[in-house]
């Protein structure tokens, strides 16, 4: 995401307190800035970088902060900053691979309000919402939900009922999506090129808050959800024009070790044809948990290959957070 140089939305794009049915000030103050340092030898360092900056939302009175997980994956140090200028260290409490949520525990008194959680299921396409970043009203954006649908990501990620908004917030990672009642309904994940009406424009994708409710207690107590992990291939599979292509491979991943190569076309899984990313992921995941063998049919120039990939638990490849 973008760096944190001084900037502000045009006044016309910012929510005005007199137009709202809720008190904007505590909503703004519930969003904190995250600055995260990652070891250079971390598994995700080459993809996500060793210095990450984004946002988080205070959701608990004892400094529990909800964010997007890629910001804190393999975190060595985390610093949290409030709108009032309070700076405290944080601990990467949990990262749930299936939903994409991350939890940070503040290791000091943030003196920031907790934001009430709403229901993303109550949000519909066409609804007015607000995208809130750290830094007060100048970093808050009036937006609309233009779609609510399944989302599949090339990094072996898929969620139902993702929320898509426009216009785009330029600093989206971990931003709060707030409904017209001032309640948290999503956490910022991506900047995407989307078609809104008849025009292509940038928008944001938010992970719906309803996904965290069934797993929150486990994330707090155990550092991960109670659900069984999904099998991981380590293939960055991209979909375009009805074709699935391996865009890249995680170093040392099961797919790389099995002989899959960037540029391969993915034709089928376990003897069944596949031509969409959601269908591909579902076919892989239904075979079993980490360690299951996944038979793949791939195409390379002039050849069709059948390879078997022994999957793994992605979490086993990641450095674990240390509580200093």
Q: Is the pLDDT of residue 324 over 60?
A: no
Contacts of 268 (CB under 8 A, 6+ apart): 274, 296, 297
Which is more confidently placed, 180 or 323? Answer: 180
Distance CA(253)–CA(266), nearest Å, equals 17
Give me the torsion for CA of 205, 159, 187, 61, rounded to 10°. Answer: 170
Q: Is the pLDDT of residue 69 over 60?
A: yes
Look at residues 210, 123, 124, 192 and name the one whose alpha carbon lies nearest to residue 153: 192
Q: For residue 230, tell me if it sits in a domain.
A: no
**Do residues 193 and 158 both lie within one domain?**
yes
Q: Is the pLDDT of residue 197 over 90?
A: no
Contacts of 202 (CB under 8 A, 6+ apart): 166, 167, 168, 191, 192, 193, 194
**Do residues 218 and 83 both lie within one domain?**
yes
Domain residues for 181?
120-209
Distance CA(53)–CA(104), nearest Å, equals 14
Distances (CA, A) of 306 to 98, 166, 265, 267, 291: 28, 43, 12, 10, 18
* pLDDT tens-digit map of 12-59: 999 999 999 999 999 999 999 999 999 999 999 999 999 999 999 999
**Do residues 61 and 201 both lie within one domain?**
no
Q: For residue 64, tell me if it sits in a domain.
A: yes
Q: For residue 6, tell me if it sits in a domain.
A: no
Q: Is the pLDDT of residue 201 over 60?
A: yes
Residue 177 · residue 131 · CB < 8 Å: yes
**Do residues 161 and 85 both lie within one domain?**
no
Distances (CA, A) of 276 to 28, 66, 242, 283: 39, 31, 6, 11
CB atoms within 10 A of CB 247: 15
How long is the chain? 324
* pLDDT tens-digit map of 257-272: 999 999 999 999 999 9
Which of 163, 194, 222 represents a domain boundary (last residue)? 222
Which of 188, 222, 256 represents a domain boundary (last residue)? 222
Distance CA(34)–CA(63), nearest Å, equals 13
Residue 140 · residue 18 · CB < 8 Å: no
Q: For residue 229, tell me if it sits in a domain.
A: no
- Give me the chain's average pLDDT, please: 94
**Do residues 46 and 98 both lie within one domain?**
yes
Q: Is the pLDDT of residue 185 over 70?
A: yes
Tokens (6 digits) for 213: 């409710």
Q: Write down the pLDDT at residue 2.
A: 40
Distances (CA, A) of 50 to 33, 47, 256, 261: 17, 9, 24, 26
CATH number at residue 204: 2.40.10.10
Which of 177, 197, 222 represents a domain boundary (last residue)? 222
**Do residues 30 and 72 both lie within one domain?**
yes
Beta bridge partner(s), residue 176: 132, 187
Q: For residue 88, tell me if it sits in a domain.
A: yes
* pLDDT tens-digit map of 72-105: 999 999 999 999 999 999 999 999 999 999 999 9
Q: For residue 311, tell me if it sits in a domain.
A: yes
Per the structure, the count of domains in the chain is 3
Distance CA(118)–CA(151), nearest Å, equals 21
**Do residues 127 and 109 both lie within one domain?**
no
Q: Write down the pLDDT at residue 320.
A: 78
Provide the pairing of β-strand 199-208 with 235-240: unpaired
Question: Considering the entire predicted model, what is its pTM?
Answer: 0.94
């Amino acid at each position: 995401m973008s760096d944190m140089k001084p900037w502000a939305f045009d006044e016309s794009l910012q929510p005005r307190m007199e137009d709202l049915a809720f008190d904007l000030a505590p909503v703004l103050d519930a969003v904190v800035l995250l600055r995260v340092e990652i070891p250079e030898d971390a598994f995700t360092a080459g993809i996500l970088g060793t210095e990450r900056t984004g946002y988080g939302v205070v959701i608990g009175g004892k400094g529990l902060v909800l964010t997007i997980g890629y910001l804190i994956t393999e975190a060595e140090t985390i610093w949290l900053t409030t709108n009032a200028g309070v700076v405290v260290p944080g601990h990467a409490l949990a990262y749930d691979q299936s939903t994409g949520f991350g939890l940070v525990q503040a290791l000091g008194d943030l003196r920031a309000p907790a934001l009430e959680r709403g229901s993303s299921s109550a949000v519909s396409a066409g609804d007015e919402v607000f995208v809130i970043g750290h830094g007060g009203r100048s970093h808050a954006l009036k937006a609309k939900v233009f779609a609510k649908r399944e989302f599949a990501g090339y990094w072996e990620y898929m969620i139902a009922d993702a929320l898509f908004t426009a216009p785009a917030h330029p600093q989206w990672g971990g931003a709060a999506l707030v409904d017209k009642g001032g309640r948290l309904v999503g956490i910022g994940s991506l900047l995407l090129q989307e078609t809104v009406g008849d025009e292509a424009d940038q928008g944001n994708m938010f992970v719906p808050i309803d996904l965290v409710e069934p797993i929150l207690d486990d994330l707090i107590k155990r550092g991960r959800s109670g659900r069984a992990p999904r099998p991981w291939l380590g293939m960055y599979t991209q979909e375009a024009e009805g074709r699935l292509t391996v865009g890249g491979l995680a170093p040392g991943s099961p797919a790389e070790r099995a002989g899959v190569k960037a540029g391969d076309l993915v034709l089928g899984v376990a003897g069944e044809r596949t031509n969409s990313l959601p269908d591909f992921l579902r076919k892989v995941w239904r075979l079993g948990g980490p360690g299951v063998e996944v038979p793949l049919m791939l195409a390379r120039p002039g050849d069709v290959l059948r390879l078997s990939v022994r999957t793994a638990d992605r979490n086993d490849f990641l450095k674990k957070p240390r509580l200093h």
